[in-house]
């Protein structure tokens, strides 16, 4: 067959020009998200060595593989940030006050182009008593509450072996930018300042922890590989020392899971028919699942969930019978 000559449709953010001034992770991750969807992202790197991320972790052909993730789809340049800059969107993640010192604060940018959107990512935001402090994401994860609930109850708080705080802040910044673009281009508004604090991005993920404490004095603690108040959802050992993650907290999914593990009695037990009952009997349920997983090596597990597969098969049979009746 001849190759298709059709021109692919433009990506959603085609035509949006973004000037990325940040370094390492939070700001560049925000820019990467926008670039993936078609924005023209012009990344300004410091002369001499470029973004420090170019030399972090594993290096191949002189460049970090991590850089290839965050730098793809961008146009990299070096520039004197003390000179005028023009763009639809400007992203920066310097310490508060740095842009103003360069003559590129919100008022300076608005004077050049009142439609420009300035997205600012910092540890604690642009205002408040902590604003001038250095904003490392690792510390912000602690202030925001994420570290306190991560790990096992008999050990110090742990962290994921990833830079979650920076990535979460970058996601919030991207959402703020798109909200501001919509307001500007659809509602006829002016450019805005998007102020993202890493600590607030983390805090935004803390679910119901604040109202639970304010209303009932509940302090959510570390719960290992489980999640408080949702059962079953954990990491279970296999017979060969490896592990498998199983989540079966939906009521109907739990019943099918219990039948698969050979515990039809629990599948029909009214005590654990709903999640609140399963939380009360968490130890009994986890013991039943672990007895099943520990008797099998990791290689014995199917590539697809037997629970999901059986459900698809049942749906397929119903669809076939319906077609036959027609």
User: What does each of the 326 residues of the chain score in pLDDT, given as a tens digit?
Assistant: 566 677 888 889 999 999 999 888 899 999 999 999 999 999 988 888 888 888 998 999 888 998 888 888 998 888 655 555 568 999 999 999 999 998 899 999 999 899 999 999 999 999 999 999 888 899 999 999 999 999 999 999 999 999 999 999 999 999 999 999 999 999 999 999 999 999 999 999 999 999 999 999 999 999 999 999 999 999 999 999 999 999 998 999 999 999 999 999 999 999 999 999 999 999 999 999 999 999 999 988 765 554 454 444 444 444 444 444 44
Asked whether the beta carbons of 276 and 222 are under 8 A apart, the reply is no
Give residue-wise pLDDT tens across range 204-249. Answer: 999 999 999 999 999 999 999 999 999 999 999 999 999 999 999 8
Q: Which residues of 298-324 are buried (b: 16+ CB within 10 A; e: fewer)?
A: eeeeeeebebeeeeeeeeeeeeeeeee
Query: What pLDDT is recorded for position 123?
Result: 94
Buried b / exposed e over 148-174, threshold 16 CB at 10 Å, is bbbbeeeeeeebeeebbbbbbbbbbbb
pTM of this prediction?
A: 0.83
Distance CA 43, CA 23 (A): 9
Q: Give catalytic residue positions.
A: 166
How far is 170 from 31, CA to CA, in rounded Å? Answer: 8
Q: Specify the pLDDT at position 319.
A: 42
Distance CA 38, CA 138 (A): 31
Q: Following DSSP, what letter does each residue of 178-207 receive, concatenated?
A: HHHHHHHHTS-----EEEEEHHHHHHTT-T
Q: Which residues pair with 92 in a beta bridge?
A: 120
Strand 59-60 to 63-64 pairing: antiparallel
Rounded to the nearest integer, the mean pLDDT of the chain is 88
Q: For residue 174, what are its two tokens?
A: 């991207």
Residue with tokens 């004077």: 111
Q: What is the token pair recorded at 2?
A: 């001849």
Quote the pLDDT of residue 84: 55
Residue extents of the structural domains in the chain: 17-203, 247-325
> What does the angle CA 268 – CA 269 – CA 275 come to, to the nearest 5 degrees?
105
Contact 92, 122 (CB under 8 A): no
| 85 SS3 class | coil
What is the distance between the alpha carbons of residues 28 and 121, in angstroms, rounded to a whole number?
Answer: 10
Q: Which CATH number is 17-203 given?
A: 3.40.50.10540
Identify the CA nearest to 28 among candidates 166, 138, 154, 198.
166
pLDDT of residue 134: 85
SS3 (DSSP) at 326: coil
Structure tokens at 129: 């008593």
- Ranges of beta strands (E only) in the chain are 17-20, 40-45, 59-60, 63-64, 74-78, 89-92, 117-122, 193-197, 233-237, 243-247
On the CB side of 195, how many CA atoms lie within 13 Å of its CA?
Answer: 11
7-40 per-residue burial string, b: 16 or more CB within 10 A, e: under 16: eeeeeebeebebbbbbbbbbbbbbbbbbbeebbb
**Dihedrals phi, psi of 284, to nearest 5 degrees:** -65, -40
């Amino acid at each position: 067959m001849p190759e298709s000559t059709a021109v692919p449709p433009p990506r959603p953010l085609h035509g949006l020009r973004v000037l990325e001034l940040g370094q390492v992770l939070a700001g560049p991750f925000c820019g990467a998200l926008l670039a993936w969807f078609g924005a023209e992202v012009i990344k300004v790197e410091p002369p001499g060595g470029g973004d420090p991320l170019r030399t972090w972790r594993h290096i191949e052909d002189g460049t970090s593989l991590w850089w290839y993730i965050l730098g793809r789809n961008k146009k990299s340049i070096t520039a004197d940030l003390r000179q005028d800059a023009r763009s639809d969107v400007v992203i920066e993640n310097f310490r508060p006050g740095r842009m103003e010192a360069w003559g590129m604060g919100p008022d300076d940018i608005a004077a050049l182009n009142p439609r420009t959107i300035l997205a600012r990512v910092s540890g604690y935001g642009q205002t408040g008593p902590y604003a001038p402090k250095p904003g490392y994401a690792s510390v912000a994860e602690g202030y925001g509450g994420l570290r306190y609930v991560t790990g096992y109850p008999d050990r110090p708080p742990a962290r994921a072996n990833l830079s979650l705080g920076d990535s979460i802040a970058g996601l919030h910044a991207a959402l703020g930018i798109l909200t501001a673009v919509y307001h500007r281009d659809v509602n006829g508004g002016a450019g805005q300042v998007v102020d993202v604090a890493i600590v607030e991005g983390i805090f935004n993920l803390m679910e119901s922890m604040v109202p639970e404490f304010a209303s009932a004095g509940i302090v959510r603690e570390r719960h290992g590989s489980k999640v408080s108040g949702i059962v079953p959802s954990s990491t279970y050992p296999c017979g060969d020392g490896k592990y498998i993650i199983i989540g079966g907290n939906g009521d109907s999914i739990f019943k099918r899971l219990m039948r698969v593990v050979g515990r039809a009695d629990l599948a029909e037990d009214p005590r654990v028919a709903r999640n609140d009952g399963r939380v009360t009997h968490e130890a009994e349920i986890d013991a039943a699942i672990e007895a099943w997983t520990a008797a099998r090596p990791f290689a014995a597990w199917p590539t697809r969930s037997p629970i999901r597969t059986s459900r698809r098969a049942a749906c397929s049979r119903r669809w076939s019978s319906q077609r036959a009746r027609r």
